[in-house]
Amino acid sequence: MIAQALTRRRERRVLPGFGLSLGISLTFVSLILLLPLTSLVGQLSQLSWSQYWFLITDPRLLASYTVTLLAAAVAALFNAVFGLLMAWVLVRYEFPGKRLVDALMDLPFALPTAVAGITLATLYSSNGWIGRLLEPLGISVSYTWIGIALAMAFTSIPFVVRTVQPVLEDLPAEVDEAAMTLGASDGLAFHRVILPYLWPALVTGTGLAFVRSLGEFGAVIFIAGGKPYETEITSLMIFVKLQEYDYAGASAVASIVLATSLLLLLAINLWQGRFIKRLHGGRG
Amino acid sequence: MSIRISQIDKTYGNKGHGRKDDGRTRALEPIDLDIQDGELIGLLGPSGSGKTTLLRIVAGLEQADGGSIHFGERDVTHVHVRDRRIGFVFQHYALFRHMNVFDNVAFGLTAMPRAQRPSSGEIRNRVMQLLEMVRLQDFAERFPAQLSGGQQQRVSLARALALKPDVLLLDEPFGALDAKVRQELRRWLRHLHEELHFTSLFVTHDQEEALELSDRVVVMSNGRVEQIATPDTLYRQPANRFVFEFLGDVNRLEGDIEEEVLTCGNARVAVPGVENGRQELLLRPHEIRLDEQPSPRAHLPVSVTAVVPVGAEVRIELEADWLGEPWLATISHADFERLAITRGKRLYAQPSRLHRFDTTRPQTLAPLSVS
């Protein structure tokens, strides 16, 4: 019976190389993704539940969760708006230097995050170019949560731009023309016709940006200042614990970040699947 | 509502319009066109003839460089598309994929400013009435992706008619559909037009579609209007060679004329009333008769290379060494059987009519009856 099922499957597959390519992929996934995760779980197994609970509910750590989540949320929302705008400008208009701007969008990915962090910290510190202008207004960016959000936004903006851009390119101009011939104002056409098309991509991009921001380290530590209970982010806490050779403690905190990220990614994927199903007429 | 188009012209200045990158492309020469209230007008032409540009300018989706457009007495030249009160049907339907059929059709009504918007009950009635008209009342809850192409185009028509537009504009409305559905929708659109009497302008590159649907046809090429006429006039009295060639299959005969006889290799045919010199004459496939003997008027030896005995007439492809490209002849099944035509058979062609378009005066046409 099993043999029969196998042969039948073999007959049906037309594309060659299934066994080999899937095998290599799985090996790779195991080595790169699963093995480190396993060691993380291994570290955790040294802890009892009560120790684990004690570690992850340390007040200083709880404060860092709040700072990280809030800053990441602000950064993600900022990116949702600004990234959508950038994608819109890059797709819908022709202007000199468009190619350059398009290439610049990837810079945050290419730039070492530490470089970004140092640059931002220098720019926004009280005697930096921008910080100097903001200080008289009573706004300080460096060493506050605003700075953290700023650094997070900087490193994660490409997620939004690069997920929204291709969807926007695929959106036929006819669709907003149709809305206009039906008397819709620009705002209404955008809100009821264009935005719903972009919605899955925008949510995915924003979600990815958020998840990325949760774990951001390099860019943030320089501008965050790391004042306990105020500007300490969770990834910094992991780093601090590692420096104290507290591997179990570091793993415990890491497991929280990991679980949050995985849950979020899963939620985004499930939601997106449902949405896309509807666009394709329930045929998946 | 009548439409008056006067001196509309358009030049594409720079790239980005899919045309030549170098320099400016004249998309439309100044065009005048008067459309009566309730008329159904077809804009016919090959791709790049400017017909879609003209339609989009009438819709307000593109701006003309000069000229004016009036709907009735209303000057709409500088009126934004959303205020022109037009209905527009796109070739690829342009339905809102994330909305079901009902919401698509209701879109125009729900997009109205709150003060003018009908109540939701009224909207519901109106939409259901429209869906009934396009025979899709059972599909209100479906999403566009669950409908066939023909059904989607009907939704798009209902959507365009929801606001009771003054003018209905259709851009190759049946271009993306298969032949059978196209035929069906065409008939259905004609009925709808007879029923509702909207003024309508549609673009097509299919001559049959234009001739079947339109009250009048506007034939365009290279941004120019070649002829505006009823389908009948267009076919019988084409204004120039382009119209003649565009509206059907054409056979060419080129040769030297001396004393009213055209000679080309070993072929010759009497052409009364044509001056001497090199001439090109044209004839339609149904204007050729086939015979086993030459006649005193025509000695045109041909041989049969292909036979298509499908349909009301038999289509026959003819070749000869005096012909540059093969001729196409359509003859009756009776003649086909009488002559026992098979591939390779040698016969003589008898033109019953020859057309000549004088290149120096493109407006003249000289059908030469030779029978």
CATH of the domain at B68: 3.40.50.300
- Is residue A108 within 8 A of residue A216, CB to CB? The reply is no
CA angle centred on B284, ends B282 and B289, rounded to 5°: 105
Q: A-chain residues within 8 Å CB-CB of B97?
A: 197, 279
Taking CB atoms and an 8 Å limit, are A94 and B16 in contact across chains?
Answer: yes
Q: Is the same domain home to B166 and B22?
A: yes
| Least confidently predicted of A240-249, B111-120, B176-185 | B176-185
Q: Is the same domain home to B239 and B263?
A: no
| Least confidently predicted of A221-225, B162-166, B227-231 | A221-225
Q: B-chain residues within 8 Å CB-CB of A177?
A: 61, 81, 88, 90, 94
Q: How confident is the model at residue B363, as a pLDDT?
A: 37
Q: How far is A90 from chain B (nearest CA, A)?
A: 14
- Is residue B313 within 8 A of residue B331, CB to CB? The reply is yes
Per-residue DSSP letter, B287: G
- Nearest Cβ partner of B81 from A172, A181, A283? A181
More confident position, A275 or B214: B214
Crossing angle of the two packed helices A247-279 and A35-44, in degrees rounded to 10: 130
Residue of A93, A182, A277 to mutate for B, most B C-beta atoms under 10 A: A182
Q: A-chain residues within 8 Å CB-CB of B81?
A: 177, 180-181
Average pLDDT over residues A225-243: 88
Does residue A182 sit in helix, strand or coil? coil
Q: What is the CATH number of the domain that holds B259?
A: 2.40.50.100
Give B199's strand partners: B167
- Nearest Cβ partner of A184 from B82, B145, B146? B82
The number of domains in chain A is 1
Most confident of A130-134, A139-143, B97-101, B173-177: B97-101
Q: How far is A210 from chain B (nearest CA, A)?
A: 26
The number of domains in chain B is 2
Q: Is the same domain home to B178 and B325?
A: no
In the chain, the amino acid numbered B251 is N
CA dihedral B282, B284, B286, B290 (to 10 degrees): 30
Does residue A22 fall inside a structural domain? Answer: no
Restricting to B residues 13-42, those with a Cβ less than 8 Å away from any Cβ of A are: 16
Does residue A251 sit in helix, strand or coil? helix
Whether the predicted pLDDT of B269 surpasses 60: yes
Q: Is the same domain home to B117 and B225?
A: yes
Taking CB atoms and an 8 Å limit, are B143 and A185 in contact across chains?
Answer: no
Q: How far is B193 from chain A (nearest CA, A)?
A: 20
Does residue A146 fall inside a structural domain? Answer: yes
Q: Is the same domain home to B158 and B282?
A: no
Give the residue from chain B lying closest to A176, CA to CA. B94
Q: B-chain residues within 8 Å CB-CB of A284?
A: none
Distance CA B303, CA B318 (A): 6
- Is residue A60 within 8 A of residue A229, CB to CB? The reply is yes
More confident position, A7 or A217: A217
Greatest extent of chain B over all pairs of C-alpha atoms, in Å: 81
What domain range includes position B350? 251-369
Q: B-chain residues within 8 Å CB-CB of A94?
A: 16
CA dihedral B345, B347, B353, B355 (to 10 degrees): 70
Distance CA A173, CA B16 (A): 14
Say if strands B86-89 and B40-44 run parallel, antiparallel, or are unpaired. unpaired
Give the residue from chain B lying closest to A95, CA to CA. B16
Give the residue from chain B lying closest to A282, CA to CA. B146
Distance CA B178, CA B85 (A): 31
Taking CB atoms and an 8 Å limit, are A281 and B145 in contact across chains?
Answer: yes
Alpha helices in B168-285 (DSSP H): 179-196, 207-213, 231-236, 241-246
- Is residue A211 within 8 A of residue A264, CB to CB? The reply is yes
Give the residue from chain A lying closest to B160, CA to CA. A182
- Stated as kind and residue range, the H or E segment containing A187 is helix A186-189
Q: Is the same domain home to B100 and B211?
A: yes
Q: Is the same domain home to B225 and B262?
A: no
Instruction: Count other Cβ atoms within 10 Å, centred on residue A150.
Output: 24
Distance CA B367, CA B219 (A): 21
Q: How far is CA A204 from the centre of its chain?
A: 9
Average pLDDT over residues A102-112: 90
Does residue A160 fall inside a structural domain? Answer: yes
Distance CA B233, CA A96 (A): 51
> Percent of chain B having pLDDT more than 90?
45
| Least confidently predicted of A2-16, A162-176, A224-238, B4-18 | A2-16
Q: How far is B20 from chain A (nearest CA, A)?
A: 17
Does residue A84 fall inside a structural domain? Answer: yes
Q: Is the same domain home to B258 and B218?
A: no
Give the residue from chain A lying closest to B143, CA to CA. A281
Domain boundary among B192, B219, B246: B246
Q: Is the same domain home to B356 and B279?
A: yes
Q: B-chain residues within 8 Å CB-CB of A179?
A: 96, 107, 111
Q: How confident is the model at residue A47, as a pLDDT?
A: 87
Q: What are the backbone dihedrals phi and psi of residue B31, each rounded to the nearest 5 degrees, phi first?
A: -120, 135
Q: What is the CATH number of the domain that holds A80?
A: 1.10.3720.10
Q: How confident is the model at residue B17, as a pLDDT?
A: 47
Q: Is the same domain home to B211 and B293?
A: no
- Stated as kind and residue range, the H or E segment containing B328 is strand B327-331
pLDDT band at residue B365 using 50, 70 and 90 as cut-offs:
very low
Q: Is the same domain home to B202 and B338?
A: no
N- to C-terminal Cα distance for chain B?
48
What domain range includes position A81? 48-279
Restricting to B residues 99-128, those with a Cβ less than 8 Å away from any Cβ of A are: 99, 107-108, 111-112
Restricting to A residues 185-214, those with a Cβ less than 8 Å away from any Cβ of B are: 185, 188, 192-193, 196-197
- Tokens for B1? 């509502």
pLDDT band at residue B367 using 50, 70 and 90 as cut-offs:
low
- Please indicate if any CB of chain B lies within 8 Å of the CB of A178: yes
Q: A-chain residues within 8 Å CB-CB of B86?
A: 181
Q: How far is A181 from chain B (nearest CA, A)?
A: 5
Interface A-B, measured as beta-carbon pairs within 8 A, has a size of 78
Whether the predicted pLDDT of A261 surpasses 60: yes
Average pLDDT over residues B14-33: 67
- Stated as kind and residue range, the H or E segment containing B269 is strand B267-270
- Tokens for B23? 């320099």
Q: How confident is the model at residue B251, as a pLDDT?
A: 92
CA angle centred on B185, ends B183 and B189, rounded to 5°: 120
- Is residue A212 within 8 A of residue A153, CB to CB? The reply is no
Q: Is the same domain home to B261 and B240?
A: no
Alpha helices in B254-341 (DSSP H): 333-339
Q: A-chain residues within 8 Å CB-CB of B92?
A: 172, 174
ipTM rounded to 2 decimals: 0.79
- Nearest Cβ partner of B98 from A178, A185, A197? A197
